[in-house]
Structure 1
Amino acid sequence: MKKFILIVFVLISTLSYSQRKDWNLGIFAIPSDQYRVKIDGELQKPGYSFLIKPGYHEIQVWSPNYQVYDTAFTYMTGKVIVKIDLQPSAQLKAVRKAQYEKGRLHGHAFIGATSAIVLGIAAAINYNEIGARNLEYVRSNQAVRLNIEGFSKDDRNEDERRLQNSRIAQYAMYGLIAGSLTYCTWKLIKARQVEVPELGDDKSFVLDGVGLSPNRMGGMNASLRLKF
């Protein structure tokens, strides 16, 4: 079903980027590459500026893997500019959705791997502290048993408490490292299970021929003639 739009007629004296001197209809579409225009069922040459007669006109704008934009309006006078945001096809939406999900899972896996590395460094530092605190506890315990002056049971108990806390922290970090690696592996497996569908050739975008077209510098560019 065609969508009828109200187009505001804009009178423009000059347009620096126009492709032709005699034009009264400018059509700009996003995405801007490879979009093609049909006016009253006739495929126009590649470009964005066109010359139409007063009266009723049907316009179609299309780009590969995007939905055809179909509209109609009655042209009277002046220069008209139409801006269109083409909507992706269902196939392109599926590809983008799968790519997003795959990227999201890879991002989570990266966070898990980074956490495991940080925790591994912290565990290595804490492991050395355990050795130092164990040595402190052994010395204070021996000093208390030998009644060496300057060492008390409270000092020995404090050294023992610090040693036990370091050991508990070490085991906790080992557990967190294992959890982070498991999380990372799980996310990578999930990411591998996400299948990104291949974006097949859009059959409505057909090569009609190859030719040359003038460029702004006065030379010629190779161009594809396409039809839909």
Structure 2
Amino acid sequence: MAKKKKDEGFFWASYADLMTSLFFIMLVLFVLSITIMKKRQEATEQQLKQITDIQDAVKELPEEYFKYDEEHKRFALKRQISFVAMSSEITHGDKPYLINVGESIAALIDKMKKEYAGQDIKYMIIIEGMSSRDSYYKNNELSYERALALYNLWNNNGIRFDNSICELQIAGSGINGVGRSKNEVLNQRFLIQIVPKIGNVREQ
């Protein structure tokens, strides 16, 4: 009988030790899980901040030439560049201004390439030509030709963008597109958009 009680006492002592050990193991795992989750959260927050910084960097285009359109989340030239109806020829007076615009964009792209070196980030520059709602039957082609006219102006003046990180697209939205003016004459223009293409952002 005494031996049975001794065995029972040994069992409960062993059981208590086992439960204590399991408790400490669960406690360690809990603390470890919380630590890992916190580190992941910090990494995610840091990566989110970097993405926001990259997006904000695009807004560093010189205010001399650009204004940011909050409604449509894009840049617009401060100077109204209007084409003559049914024409895609850039006026002589607008050319120096547009050359300066191209140089300022190229400088910003070069700056961001250095600042975010090693990151999986590229940029897309979109020149979107537009045309007015009128009786001209080639407005779609005309809008593209207006965008192409700006590209040719930049190219002919040595303004080129680093194609290792930058893609240039020439597009025409015709009489469609977002953010058109109610004054159709003002739609005889083009828009310039810079869009960051953010891949896998690593911690710095």
Both structures adopt the same fold (TM-score exceeding 0.5): no
- Greater strand content: 1
**Higher relative CO (CA 8 A, sep ≥ 6), structure 1 or 2?**
2
Normalization by structure 2: what TM-score? 0.31
- Greater helix content: 2
Normalization by structure 1: what TM-score? 0.28
